[in-house]
């Protein structure tokens, strides 16, 4: 579990993400599709787009915003997030059929994109965000199995 102090480090770094949630969300999805091409086939709306079309797609940007906003909501709960995660886990496992590994992939990508975009995202900030995303993914995974 995460300490109060670790959650506060996460929320301080995440405040930079909240200052441009659509831009960061778009960058995260584009990097996910570039680094882990298999994830693109989970998106019926995106899977037939070329790399150039993905770059300029308003739908990709809109979905990036939805993903970031959900993480903002979850992180602000500082671990008391079970009630938020259940519908998210059920839609991803049953409806969208997203392998849990894709949550690990997007977690790595989020930390990479943050490291590129945030000037003062040091080792402690990166470690705290990585840990928060690990808790998030583990707790989603519990609902996947049940």
Q: Which stretches of the chain are DSSP H helices?
A: 4-18, 21-35, 51-56, 58-76, 82-90, 100-117, 123-145
Considering the complex, what minimum distance in angstroms separates the CB of residue 48 from ligand HE5?
Answer: 13
Decide: 29 and 113 in contact? Cβ < 8 Å.
Answer: no
Considering the complex, what minimum distance in angstroms separates the CB of residue 49 from ligand HE5?
Answer: 11
The whole-angstrom separation of Cα 125 and Cα 46 is 32
The whole-angstrom separation of Cα 92 and Cα 25 is 18
Stretch that binds ligand HE5, among 6-14, 47-55, 67-75, 113-121 (CB under 6 A): 67-75
User: For residue 106, which of 96, 118, 97, 114 has the smallest C-alpha distance?
Assistant: 114
Answer yes or no whether residue 87 interacts with ligand HE5 by CB under 6 A: yes
* Binding residues among 99-138 for ligand HE5 as defined by CB under 6 A: 102-103, 106
Stretch that binds ligand HE5, among 3-11, 50-58, 90-98, 117-125 (CB under 6 A): 90-98
Answer yes or no whether residue 94 interacts with ligand HE5 by CB under 6 A: no
Residue selected from 10, 31, 63, 65 as contacting ligand HE5 according to rule CB under 6 A: 63
């Amino acid at each position: 579990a995460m300490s109060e102090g670790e959650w506060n480090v996460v929320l301080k770094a995440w405040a930079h993400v909240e200052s441009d949630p659509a831009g960061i969300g778009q960058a995260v999805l584009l990097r996910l599709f570039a680094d882990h091409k298999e994830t693109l086939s989970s998106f019926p709306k995106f899977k037939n787009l070329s790399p150039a079309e993905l770059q300029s797609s308003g739908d990709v940007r809109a979905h990036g915003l939805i993903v970031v906003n959900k993480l903002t909501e979850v992180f602000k709960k500082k671990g008391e997030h079970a009630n938020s995660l259940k519908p998210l886990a059920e839609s991803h496992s049953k409806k969208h059929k997203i392998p849990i590994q894709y949550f690990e992939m997007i977690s790595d990508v989020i930390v990479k994109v943050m490291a590129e975009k945030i000037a003062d995202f040091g080792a402690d900030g990166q470690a705290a965000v990585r840990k928060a995303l690990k808790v998030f993914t583990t707790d989603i995974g519990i609902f996947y199995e049940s």
